[in-house]
């Protein structure tokens, strides 16, 4: 029997002794063992901090994002190696797709997120704050990669997705990771990490893997480290209260299993598309991954007058589920991850049966195909019914981690909201309704107890990603029992691995540190017009002050005719008494257009390929007839772009600060425009 290896200190090594035996979930055969005994875990942390962290911190967001993309492409080429191993965890092809390719999808998502960040290792956060009358003193916030390591303690149900969804975030942030998967399915995590190692894409020390017990790993963490945990609330609380974590104030993000719910709106009846969506969603969440999902539906709330119809529909659809060997293409539900998980599941169901009853399925038998129900960790889907959910505690406190859900009635939307809150905090809840008022009242009423709410109806029925699918750019987590933390969430998640530090100083100094031009900083003037410079030649701070242009009545009248904008303030004959204006005022968009005519060098071809858009356009002061305008035009920030196709032009995005000044040298409008600028060296 093979012993899994740990990937630490840049090498694959075995732990001492035989370790924990790992079993094939479908046939019960022993397939591997795992051990971390004898490993110097303090050295593992030290290696990550001394090797992986400096290497990642030197890379820019752009480089780290491209690294994630390369890794995703590499893993996608080796899918054929991962699926056969995934079947040994009891997962069907559909289950494996979510775990494996869903995890790789997270890498792609965070690779694309690099476009939201600058081409440097750190970034600004939020808006600047002027701290003096003349703007010679200002404040801002920087986000800098932490100098520690991300420690991911993951659950057994998603051995690939659980790892990739987390490391995608910390690697983009510039922080290395130590992954400790749940031992029972760690053989699949090991296979993926072997391919990551073989790719040579990640810097040394950026990723390490521990297959087996965490032993004394947490004894050596410090305040620069970040810990994430996915699993039971009980285990999470135990880890969170570790003396070292408390004494060093180590950030600890917990994503705990919770009593997630789905609510059938009072407006929905069997004749509506929402009815079928509801039944399908419940069935899918009960059988997907054999119910072993932290986001699975555990509580089903239905209007009391529809309980019988829902019960019949769920029984029918569950009876059509084919259970057995995941390698059989007709199978729709595989097995639990192992016998231990099945035994624990039965114990939890027994607790629920003190106040609920089984209305579909069996605790003791299940019909399977192409497998042995006793040798494999198979379990029948169990639909329970609880008549009095307001008076029952267990159904809101006990989670049976498998294909188990409890059906319950409610009498009003207010009662449904009160019932879902009895779960004391959940990762997700869904409401199926075609009534916007019901949806609004539910989202606002139940939102404080949930990390995510899905509103499901006919409009999104075909394309929705489902109750149980956390998405890379949305937060995954929940309050209370669900752990009180957040994972993923796009830019929000990246910030979790970075230190936010307030910086104060002159605009020139903040510009120099941030590499983003700050209002009031000195500009770089003289020489070529900025539009004549290639991407590499441009410097943040390159600036021109244009000639002046006088705004005439003819200009304003002509723009009104051309645009069709005859708002009263733009008409000379308007009686301006009681208005905000003194006399005929120029259109804001005309002023912006006229400004472009001042700063655009348009007489010959130049490196500027196109205008990419306008951000943060504000009109701060009216421009009247016979006023003049001029533009202070400054290179604010540069962001390189990668080619989508080999034939693409090498280019980058340049952000320009446009300050439109009036004859009193006061700002009348301000905006950030974006242009695509060609690179001098075309590859």
- Convert the pLDDT of each residue in 548-587 to its tens digit: 999 999 999 999 999 999 998 898 888 888 888 888 899 9
Closest residue by Cα to residue 172 from 620, 494, 654:
494
531-568 CB burial, b ≥16 within 10 A, e <16: bebbbbebebbbbbbbeebebeeebbbebbeeeeeeee
Strand ranges for 536-596 from DSSP E: 543-545, 549-550
Q: Of 643 and 456, which is predicted with more confidence?
A: 456
Statement to judge: residues 457 and 376 lie in one domain: yes
Q: Looking at the domain assignment, is residue 511 inside a domain?
A: no
Strand ranges for 322-422 from DSSP E: 357-360, 382-385, 404-410
154-158: average pLDDT: 89
Statement to judge: residues 287 and 375 lie in one domain: yes
Within 8 A by CB and 6+ apart from 573, the residues are none
Statement to judge: residues 313 and 245 lie in one domain: no
In the predicted model, what is the mean pLDDT of the chain?
92
Write the burial class of residue 441 (CB in 10 Å: 0-12 exposed, 13-18 middle, 19+ buried).
middle
Instruction: Tally Cβ neighbours within 10 Å of residue 73.
Output: 15
Give the count of domains, the chain: 3
Look up the pTM and report it.
0.89
The residue to which tokens 């080429």 are assigned:
77
Confidence of residue 644 (pLDDT cuts 50, 70, 90): confident
Statement to judge: residues 213 and 320 lie in one domain: no
Q: What pLDDT score does 682 carry? A: 67
CA 318 to chain CA mean position, Å: 32
Q: What pLDDT score does 468 carry? A: 85
Task: Round to whole Å and give the CA distance between 433 and 438.
Answer: 7
Q: Is the pLDDT of residue 199 over 90?
A: yes
User: Are residues 181 and 212 in contact, defined by beta-carbon separation less than 8 angstroms?
Assistant: no
Q: What pLDDT score does 683 carry? A: 63
Task: Round to whole Å and give the CA distance between 310 and 313.
Answer: 5
Rounded to 10°, the helix 161-173/61-76 angle is: 160
The residue to which tokens 């079928």 are assigned:
276
Task: Round to whole Å and give the CA distance between 428 and 638.
Answer: 39
130-154 CB burial, b ≥16 within 10 A, e <16: eeeeeeebbebbbbebbbbbbbbbb
Q: CA torsion angle for 573, 576, 582, 587 (degrees, to 10)?
A: -60
User: How far is residue 26 from each of residues 65, 81, 82, 181, 315, measured CA to CA in Å?
Assistant: 38, 19, 17, 20, 25
Statement to judge: residues 277 and 360 lie in one domain: yes
Confidence of residue 306 (pLDDT cuts 50, 70, 90): very high
Q: Looking at the domain assignment, is residue 619 inside a domain?
A: yes
- Convert the pLDDT of each residue in 68-93 to its tens digit: 999 999 999 999 999 999 999 999 99
3-class secondary-structure state, position 189: helix
399-405: average pLDDT: 93
Q: Looking at the domain assignment, is residue 513 inside a domain?
A: no
Full domain range(s) for residue 425: 260-471
Going by their DSSP bridges, the two strands 20-23 and 30-34 should be labelled as antiparallel
Give the domain CATH number at 565: 3.10.129.10
For 417-464, the DSSP string reads HHHHHTTSSBS-EEEE-S-HHHHHHHHHHHGGGBS-EEEE-TTTTTT-
Statement to judge: residues 136 and 150 lie in one domain: yes
3-class secondary-structure state, position 77: coil
HSE (side-chain half, CA atoms, 13 Å) at 550: 4
- In the DSSP assignment, the letter for residue 160 is T
CA 550 to chain CA mean position, Å: 49
**In the annotation, is 635 catalytic?**
no
Give the domain CATH number at 349: 3.40.309.10
Assigned token pair, 329: 């293409």
Assigned token pair, 505: 């100083």
Q: Looking at the domain assignment, is residue 130 inside a domain?
A: yes
- Convert the pLDDT of each residue in 242-266 to its tens digit: 999 999 999 999 888 889 999 999 9
Going by their DSSP bridges, the two strands 30-34 and 2-3 should be labelled as parallel
Statement to judge: residues 296 and 226 lie in one domain: no
Q: Looking at the domain assignment, is residue 512 inside a domain?
A: no
User: How far is residue 515 from each of residues 119, 171, 458, 512, 635, measured CA to CA in Å?
Assistant: 9, 22, 48, 5, 11
Instruction: Tally Cβ neighbours within 10 Å of residue 647.
Output: 6
Statement to judge: residues 445 and 576 lie in one domain: no
- Convert the pLDDT of each residue in 214-244 to its tens digit: 899 999 999 999 999 988 888 888 898 999 9
User: Are residues 38 and 15 in contact, defined by beta-carbon separation less than 8 angstroms?
Assistant: yes
Task: Round to whole Å and give the CA distance between 342 and 574.
Answer: 80
Q: What pLDDT score does 133 carry? A: 86
Angle at 374 between CA 372 and CA 378, to 5 degrees: 80
331-361 CB burial, b ≥16 within 10 A, e <16: bbbbbbbbbebbebbbebbeebeebbebebb
Statement to judge: residues 252 and 265 lie in one domain: no
Sign of the dihedral defined by the CA atoms of residues 319, 324, 326, 331, in that order: negative
Going by their DSSP bridges, the two strands 651-661 and 628-640 should be labelled as antiparallel
HSE (side-chain half, CA atoms, 13 Å) at 218: 24
**In the annotation, is 294 catalytic?**
yes
356-375: average pLDDT: 92
3-class secondary-structure state, position 353: coil
Pick the catalytic residue from 165, 294, 487, 635. 294
User: How far is residue 181 from each of residues 18, 258, 399, 445, measured CA to CA in Å?
Assistant: 18, 20, 21, 36
Closest residue by Cα to residue 397 from 424, 375, 368, 357:
424
Sign of the dihedral defined by the CA atoms of residues 468, 473, 475, 477, in that order: positive
Statement to judge: residues 7 and 24 lie in one domain: yes
Closest residue by Cα to residue 227 from 47, 497, 37, 492:
497
Pick the catalytic residue from 255, 266, 281, 399. 255
Assigned token pair, 518: 């700050």
- In the DSSP assignment, the letter for residue 324 is B
Q: Of all helices (H) and strands (E), which one includes residue 659?
A: strand 651-661
Statement to judge: residues 451 and 591 lie in one domain: no
Q: Looking at the domain assignment, is residue 57 inside a domain?
A: yes
User: Are residues 220 and 48 in contact, defined by beta-carbon separation less than 8 angstroms?
Assistant: no
- Convert the pLDDT of each residue in 130-146 to its tens digit: 988 888 899 999 999 99
Q: Looking at the domain assignment, is residue 478 inside a domain?
A: no
Statement to judge: residues 247 and 301 lie in one domain: no
For 498-530, the DSSP string reads EEEEEEEE-HHHHHHHHSS--TTSPPB-SSS-G
311-315: average pLDDT: 95
For 25-74, the DSSP string reads TTT--EEEEE--TT--HHHHHHHIIIIIHHHHHHS-HHHHHHHHHHHHHH
Q: Looking at the domain assignment, is residue 109 inside a domain?
A: yes
Phi, psi for 612 (deg, rounded to 5): -95, -15
Task: Round to whole Å and give the CA distance between 91 and 160.
Answer: 12
């Amino acid at each position: 029997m093979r012993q899994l290896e740990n990937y630490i200190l840049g090498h694959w090594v075995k732990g001492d002794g035989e370790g924990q035996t790992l079993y094939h979930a479908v046939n019960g055969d022993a397939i591997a063992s795992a051990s971390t005994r004898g490993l110097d875990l303090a050295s593992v942390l030290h290696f990550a901090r001394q090797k992986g962290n400096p290497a990642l911190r030197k890379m820019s967001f752009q480089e780290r994002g491209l690294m994630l993309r390369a890794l995703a492409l590499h893993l996608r080429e080796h899918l054929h190696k991962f699926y056969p191993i995934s079947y040994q965890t009891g997962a069907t092809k559909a289950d494996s797709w979510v775990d494996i390719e869903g995890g790789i999808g997270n890498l792609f998502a965070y690779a694309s997120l690099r476009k939201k960040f600058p081409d440097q290792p750190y970034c600004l956060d939020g808006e600047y704050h002027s701290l003096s009358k003349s703007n010679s003193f200002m404040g801002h916030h920087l986000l800098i990669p932490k100098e520690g390591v991300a420690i991911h303690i993951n659950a057994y149900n998603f051995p690939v997705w659980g790892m990739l969804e987390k490391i995608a975030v910390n690697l983009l942030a510039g922080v290395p990771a130590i992954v400790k998967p749940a031992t029972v399915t760690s053989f699949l995590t090991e296979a993926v990490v072997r391919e990551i190692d073989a790719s040579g894409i990640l810097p040394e020390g950026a990723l390490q893997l521990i297959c087996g017990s965490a032993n004394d790993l947490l004894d050596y963490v410090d305040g620069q480290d970040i810990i994430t945990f996915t699993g039971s609330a009980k285990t999470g609380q135990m880890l969170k209260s570790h003396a070292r974590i408390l004494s060093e104030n180590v950030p600890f993000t917990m994503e705990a299993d919770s009593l997630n719910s789905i609510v059938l709106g009072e407006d929905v009846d069997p004749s509506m598309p929402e009815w079928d969506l509801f039944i399908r969603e419940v069935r899918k969440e009960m059988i997907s991954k054999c119910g072993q999902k932290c986001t699975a539906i555990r509580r089903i709330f239905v209007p009391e007058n529809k309980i019988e119809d829902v019960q019949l529909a769920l029984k029918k659809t569950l009876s059509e589920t084919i259970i057995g060997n995941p390698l059989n293409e007709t199978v729709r539900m595989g097995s639990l991850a192992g016998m231990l998980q099945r035994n624990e599941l039965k114990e939890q169901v027994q607790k629920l049966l003190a106040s609920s009853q089984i209305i579909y399925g069996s605790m003791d038998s299940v019909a399977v195909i192409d497998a042995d129900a006793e040798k494999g960790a198979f379990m029948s889907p169990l639909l329970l019914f609880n008549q009095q959910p307001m008076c029952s505690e267990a159904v809101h406190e006990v989670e049976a981690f498998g294909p188990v859900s409890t059906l319950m009635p409610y009498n009003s939307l207010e009662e449904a909201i009160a019932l879902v809150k009895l779960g004391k905090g959940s990762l997700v809840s869904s409401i199926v309704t075609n009534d916007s008022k019901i949806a609004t009242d539910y989202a606002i009423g139940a939102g404080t107890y949930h990390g995510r709410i899905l509103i499901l109806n006919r409009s999104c029925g075909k394309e929705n990603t489902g109750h149980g699918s956390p998405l890379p750019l949305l937060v995954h987590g929940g309050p209370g029992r669900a752990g009180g933390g957040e994972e993923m969430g796009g830019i929000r998640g990246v910030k979790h691995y970075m230190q936010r530090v307030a910086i104060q100083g002159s605009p020139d100094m903040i510009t120099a540190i941030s590499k983003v031009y700050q209002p009031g900083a000195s500009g770089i003037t003289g020489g070529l017009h900025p539009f004549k410079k290639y991407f590499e030649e441009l410097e943040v701070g390159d600036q021109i002050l244009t000639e002046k242009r006088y705004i005439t009545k003819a200009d304003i009248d002509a723009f009104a005719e051309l645009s069709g904008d005859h708002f009263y303030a733009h008409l000379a004959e308007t009686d301006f008494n009681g208005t905000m204006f003194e006399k005929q005022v120029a259109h804001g968009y005309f002023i912006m257009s006229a400004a472009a005519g001042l700063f655009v060098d348009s007489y010959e071809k130049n490196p500027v390929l196109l205008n990419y858009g306008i951000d943060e356009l504000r009109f701060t002061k009216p421009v009247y007839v016979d006023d003049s305008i001029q533009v202070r035009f400054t290179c604010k920030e540069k962001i390189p772009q990668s080619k989508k196709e080999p034939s693409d032009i090498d280019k980058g995005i340049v952000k320009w600060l446009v300050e439109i000044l009036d004859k009193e040298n006061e700002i009348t409008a301000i905006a950030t425009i974006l242009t695509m600028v060609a690179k001098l060296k075309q590859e």
